[in-house]
Every structure is written in C-alpha cells, then in structure tokens.
Amino acid sequence: NRIIENMEKIKFFNSIAEAGLAKNLLKEYGIESSVQRRGVEFPGDMGDSYGADLFVAEKDIEKAKQILEIPAA
C-alpha cells in the first residue's frame, strides 16, 4: 500500500471499529491517516478478529498522539 509506505504506525487497536473512530477524530483535526487490518480475512470475517494498526504521516505523529492521548515514546 503506497499510502502506508509514507506513514508510521502510531497505535494498534483491538478492533477495526476503534481504529476507524480514531481515524475520523484525526480527520476532524486535519490529519490524514490510514487503517490497516491485521491477519487474514476470510468469508464472513468482520475484520475484528486480529485488530488493526493506525498509520499517520511522520510530520503529524506528535499531534496525532496528543489528540489520541498516546504517551510519547
């Protein structure tokens, strides 16, 4: 995925829904992000079995972490 190649993972979420909420919150602040599911999908899989990673551009990492209240590394 070309978009994710230019981004850094900032958080793992236990569900796609949680990652989607975080993505929408960041969008409200003007930060583009991308959600990537973990695991292998299969027919009937809702995508929450393995969770998802949230990625943002390197320039937005600190702001995104503040918005999502992720402790600094």
CB 21 within 8 A of CB 52: no
Residue type, 33: S
Token couple for 23 = 């993505």
User: For the whole model, what pTM was predicted?
Assistant: 0.80
Beta bridge partners of 52: 13, 37
C-beta separation of 19 from 36 below 8 A: no
Which tens digits make up the pLDDT trace of 1-41?
456 778 999 999 998 899 999 999 999 999 999 999 887 66
Per-residue pLDDT at 73 exceeds 80 = no
Identify which of 46, 57, 59 has the alpha carbon closest to the alpha carbon of residue 18: 46
